[in-house]
A and B are shown apart, each in its own frame.
Chain A
């Protein structure tokens, strides 16, 4: 089956702009979570959506937002981009329950964002 698909794969934005990243989870998966990965901070949890509702949120400013659609596809948006937002943004999906329920979390290949 198709894996987690993220688009775009690479993008360059200017400070102050906003960006929208898209994630299509594996068919049947209803949980979608987003992570930011940087060399300095590693992988950091942004938020998780389940059935169009945000179920968990990490410690990121309000400039970072997301949403999930009825087909489980998800988007995340970063407004007023800063240089420090340059990172690999990863989307992950799983079945309804958490990973401790035995549901494996599958990551996409990520979207590389460079802010100049």
Chain B
């Protein structure tokens, strides 16, 4: 069956360290993968999109990798801050075409950055 899996356990790290979140998928062939941040009671906020032909994408302190062989994406936050505490969701378009806005989301990983 088709699945997107993210670490269900919360990730607790110290301020200043690098947080690494994992997204694994099975039985999909996505043309791209996206990462979102969601704060409690709020809607998800788009962070980064990485295409299948891109190995790595960066935006300020954020870095995403995409390995279509391993069917895995890693999301890194360097020099983490307490304000980075939130749930991070990965999402992909199951059609693979990317022409529409139908996304399948992982369950999300809750990140807590401690001072």
B89 within 8 Å of A by Cβ?
yes
A90-B44, A101-B98, A104-B46 given; A42·B105 CB < 8 A: yes
A102 CB contacts on chain B under 8 angstroms: 49
Tell me, in angstroms, the Cα distance from A7 to B75 when the chains sit together: 33
Contact of B43 among A44, A48, A94, A107 (CB under 8 A): A107
Q: In the complex, are the beta carbons of A99 and B97 less than 8 A apart?
A: no
User: Per-residue 0/1 for B81-115: is the Cβ within 8 Å of any A Cβ (1 yes, 0 no)?
Assistant: 00000000101010001111111111110000000
A2 within 8 Å of B by Cβ?
no
B42 within 8 Å of A by Cβ?
yes
Closest residue of B by beta carbon distance from A49: B101
User: Per-residue 0/1 for B11-55: is the Cβ within 8 Å of any A Cβ (1 yes, 0 no)?
Assistant: 000000000000000000001101000000111111001010000
Q: In the complex, are the beta carbons of A42 and B101 less than 8 A apart?
A: no
Tell me, in angstroms, the Cα distance from A34 to B46 when the chains sit together: 16
Contact of B102 among A42, A56, A97, A107 (CB under 8 A): A56
A108 within 8 Å of B by Cβ?
yes
A99 CB contacts on chain B under 8 angstroms: 32, 34, 49, 93, 98, 101, 103
B89 CB contacts on chain A under 8 angstroms: 43
Q: In the complex, are the beta carbons of A56 and B44 less than 8 A apart?
A: no
Closest residue of A by beta carbon distance from B51: A100
A50 CB contacts on chain B under 8 angstroms: 100
Measured CB to CB, the residues of A under 8 A from B are 4, 31, 33, 35, 42-45, 48, 50, 55-56, 58, 90, 92, 94, 97-102, 104-110
Task: Report the 4 A-B pairs with minimum CB-CB distance, sorted nearest first.
Answer: A100-B98, A107-B43, A43-B105, A56-B102
